[in-house]
């Protein structure tokens, strides 16, 4: 088998695996399922990946590389308000494209040695880069924050990002944790925007307000909204 054909087949396996993991959940997909969807024999798949863990490892490496490259700071200019939009677009696209990694993170950490080693390193790199980005926004006059506030905000954003699916499941918004609609990804970004809203200044504040308007109202607890006309007044 030629080198170029090997790479093409390997990429097809990765793309299809990612699709199936996202749609069905990693635990529900076997290498036999992947091979069948690709119309190849299990032996042919094993030529490229010895087991499912190797596929997950490769996808994690791919996710890490893409995300860190997308979060890189521009080298020849200060950040502007449009960069804030770009960074949130990066987060939303990556969260959606590799949603199984965050949805199944606890299972993956417990059951996959490579993932257990890689994930903390990835989380650390993303949070370090996040702090660099916020410091660059402060330097550009688009945010006003102390170093301690930057650190706390970055950690809080990571907590929201990585625990969002579990929150939706435990609060009754998802009946099956394997099914994550795109609207819930945007709701996660809405919460993340709220966390940094108080620190925005100048043009970034205008961009923030436009983004919040475009995202619309939250659907998370609309069923808990209280209609004042139905509230019974106390006789006291």
The domain spans of the chain are 1-50, 57-217
Rounded CA-CA distance 95/68 in Å is 13
* Whether residue 23 has pLDDT greater than 60: yes
- The percent of residues in the chain predicted with pLDDT above 70, rounded, is 85
* Whether residue 236 has pLDDT greater than 60: no
171 phi/psi in degrees, rounded to 5: -95, 5
pLDDT for 130 equals 94
Choose between 113 and 207: higher pLDDT. 113
Confidence of residue 160 (pLDDT cuts 50, 70, 90): confident
pLDDT for 228 equals 45
The domain made up of 1-50 has a fold known as Arc Repressor Mutant, subunit A (1.10.10)
* Whether residue 176 has pLDDT greater than 80: no
Average pLDDT over residues 122-141: 95
pLDDT for 234 equals 47
* Whether residue 53 has pLDDT greater than 60: yes
pLDDT for 193 equals 83
Cα distances (Å, whole numbers) of residue 45 to 4, 49, 147, 164, 204: 16, 6, 49, 33, 48
Instruction: Specify which of 131-145, 182-196, 203-217 reaches the highest per-range mean pLDDT.
Output: 131-145
pLDDT for 221 equals 64
Choose between 218 and 139: higher pLDDT. 139
For all residues of the chain together, what is the average pLDDT?
85
Q: DSSP class of residue 77?
A: S
Average pLDDT over residues 56-80: 94
Domain 1-50 shares a fold with domain 57-217: no
- Name the CATH superfamily for 57-217: Tetracycline Repressor, domain 2 (1.10.357.10)
**149-166: buried (b, 16+ CB within 10 Å) or exposed (e) per residue?**
bbeebbeebbebbbebbe
- The percent of residues in the chain predicted with pLDDT above 90, rounded, is 51
């Amino acid at each position: 088998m030629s080198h170029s054909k090997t790479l093409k087949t390997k990429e097809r396996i990765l793309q299809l695996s990612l699709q199936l993991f996202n749609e069905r959940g990693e635990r529900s997909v076997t290498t036999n399922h992947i091979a069948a969807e690709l119309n190849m024999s299990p032996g042919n798949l094993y030529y490229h990946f010895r087991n499912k863990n190797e596929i997950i490892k490769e996808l994690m490496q791919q996710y890490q590389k893409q995300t860190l490259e997308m979060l890189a700071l521009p080298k020849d200019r200060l950040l502007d308000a449009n960069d804030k939009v770009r960074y949130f677009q990066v987060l939303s696209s990556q969260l959606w494209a590799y949603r199984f990694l965050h949805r199944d993170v606890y299972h993956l950490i417990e059951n996959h040695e490579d993932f257990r080693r890689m994930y903390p390193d990835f989380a650390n790199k993303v949070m370090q880069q996040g702090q660099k980005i916020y410091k660059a926004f402060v330097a550009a006059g688009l945010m006003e924050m102390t170093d301690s506030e930057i650190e706390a905000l970055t950690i809080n954003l990571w907590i929201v990002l990585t625990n969002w699916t579990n929150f939706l499941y435990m609060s009754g918004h998802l009946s099956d944790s394997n099914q994550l609609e795109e609207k819930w990804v945007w709701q996660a970004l809405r919460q993340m925007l709220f966390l940094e809203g108080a620190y925005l200044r100048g043009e970034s504040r205008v961009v923030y307000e436009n983004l919040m308007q475009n995202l619309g109202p939250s659907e998370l607890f609309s069923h808990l909204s209280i209609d004042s006309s139905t509230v019974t007044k106390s006789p006291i």
